[in-house]
């Protein structure tokens, strides 16, 4: 049971990054890369859609992993 609690605590920051990435895909795409550009670049709609879809898949996937871990250890 301690492993499930530890996993949940470690999943919280990952969930936070994925949620931030879903709601602010432009910012997450340029995170750590903004120094390479003199002006703010415009990400393409396809790149924004890709970031949103991958964030959503990550959120759903982590939820399933957590549910499986919770069921396995109970």
What pTM was computed for the model? 0.82
Using CA atoms, how far residue 31 sits from 24, 40, 48, in Å, is: 11, 12, 14
In the predicted model, is pLDDT for residue 58 greater than 90? yes
7 in a domain, yes or no? yes
36 in a domain, yes or no? no
Alpha carbon distance 7, 12 (integer Å): 9
35 in a domain, yes or no? no
Which pLDDT tens digit goes with each residue over 28-50? 888 877 788 888 888 899 999 99
48 in a domain, yes or no? yes
Asked if residues 5 and 70 have their Cβ atoms less than 8 Å apart, the reply is no
18 in a domain, yes or no? yes
21 in a domain, yes or no? yes
- The greatest distance separating any two alpha carbons of the chain, rounded to the nearest whole angstrom, comes to 54
Using only C-alpha atoms, the chain has a radius of gyration, in whole angstroms, of: 16
- Residue numbers of the domain that contains 62: 2-30+42-73
Q: Per the structure, how many domains does the chain have? A: 1
């Amino acid at each position: 049971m301690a492993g499930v609690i530890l996993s949940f605590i470690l999943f919280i920051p990952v969930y936070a990054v994925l949620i931030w990435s879903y709601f602010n895909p432009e910012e997450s795409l340029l995170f750590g890369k903004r120094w390479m550009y003199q002006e703010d670049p415009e990400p393409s709609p396809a790149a924004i859609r890709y970031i949103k879809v991958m964030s959503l898949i990550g959120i759903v996937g982590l939820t399933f992993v957590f549910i499986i871990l919770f069921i396995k250890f109970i």
